[in-house]
Copies of this chain bind each other. A is one copy, B any other.
Amino acid sequence: MRTIEELTAQVRSNGGKVTAQRLLIWQALYNNRTHPTAEELYQKLKQVSPTLSLTTLYNTLNELASWGEIRRIDNGDGSIHYDPFVEPHVELVCLACHKVVDSQSKPALLSAPEEMDGFKIISHSEQYYGYCPVCRSAFNQVNK
């Protein structure tokens, strides 16, 4: 995700307004390496700004996602997780418990083409699907 200053410029250039709510949400995401859900963010931000509405939070998250600043992660647990870290990295997704963790391994794809099949490319992701250490040992228990 780009800096608060750059997002400020982006909003203004679109004729938008840099509100206290947008700033609050941006700051909560900036440099955040977790994958929070809307509800998790809401609980945290309500402590700072009790009148913040879920609608505003969703609007702002959708806006950031539409700019490619954050990415939506559906891991099958019922709610969407948001990932502000969109630089190339490897994500490991457990097919059993739905955990999504960032790997420390270097991604195979360090850069994306600027254009492909008529799409203007902004970012890319690399996901590996499998079974996490915890679920693997659970399987072994069962199969014994």
Q: Which residues of A contact B (CB under 8 A)?
A: 62, 65-68, 71-74, 76, 80, 86, 90, 92, 94-96, 101, 103-105, 108-109, 112-113, 116-133, 136
Contact = CB atoms under 8 A, between A and B. Distances in A.
| Copies of this chain in the oligomer | 2
Contacts of A66: 95-96
Nearest to A69: B95
Nearest to A110: B108
Contacts of A119: 92, 94, 128, 130-133
B116 A68 contact: no
Contacts of A133: 118-119
A107 to B, nearest CB: 9
